Amino acid sequence: MRARLLFPSLALLGLLSGCAGTVALQPADAANDPACAEVMVRLPDVVAGLDRRSTNAQSTAAWGTPAGVILRCGLPDTGPSVLPCFTVDGVDWLRDDANDPNFTFLTYGRNPAVEVLIDSTAVSGTNALSDLSIAVGALEPLRICIDATDVLGN
């Protein structure tokens, strides 16, 4: 599961730095899903203190110069995962820290899924996800994060 999350993200991590202007991104496979349009129209102009920039791909967004936050909508719902799952302002996220200090966050239990790449040397991941929660919250939750105590009934 971890390799599937990282493969599309690795190509984007190099984009977390660079010059001002349009940020070149690859759209997710289901970027044209109408639910992504609902997310995109709700995105804020500022995330974690970074101004929004233009991108060249459908259902994508970036903030900061260089880009410290990148968002893509239209990824497949992951289902159960071994990655840590946590909730920020009502939205459940899987966190992949394999490329620390660059973190990949993927919504959990929402379809289509939203991926957010964070350069933690530029911004706080929690602050960025909090700023994005109203937009991403437009996607109806299908499942929620649970932990071992929920399953084992402690």
Give me the DSSP letters along 76-144.
PP--S-SS-EEEETTEEEEEEEEETTEEEEEESSBSSEEEEEEETTTS-HHHHHHHHHHHHTTSPBS--
Query: Does a structural domain hold residue 151?
Result: no
Look up tokens 């289901």; give the residue.
Answer: 30
Average the pLDDT over 18-37 and give the result. Answer: 91
Query: Does a structural domain hold residue 150?
Result: no
pLDDT of residue 16: 44
pLDDT of residue 42: 98
Query: Does a structural domain hold residue 152?
Result: no
**Residue 99 pLDDT exceeds 60:** yes
Average the pLDDT over 57-75 and give the result. Answer: 98
**Residue 13 pLDDT exceeds 80:** no
Give the domain extent around 54.
2-144
For residue 33, give Cα distances in angstroms to 21, 56, 73, 81, 101. Answer: 26, 17, 9, 24, 31
Query: Does a structural domain hold residue 39?
Result: yes
Average pLDDT of the residues of the chain? 87
The model carries a pTM of: 0.84
The two three-digit tokens of residue 91, written as one number: 């939205």
Query: Does a structural domain hold residue 72?
Result: yes
Percent of the residues in the chain that have a pLDDT greater than 90, as a whole number: 77
What is the gyration radius of the CA atoms in the chain, in angstroms?
A: 15
Query: Does a structural domain hold residue 12?
Result: yes
- How many domains does the chain fold into? 1
pLDDT of residue 19: 53
Query: Does a structural domain hold residue 154?
Result: no
Query: Does a structural domain hold residue 32?
Result: yes
* Beta-bridge mates of residue 95: 105
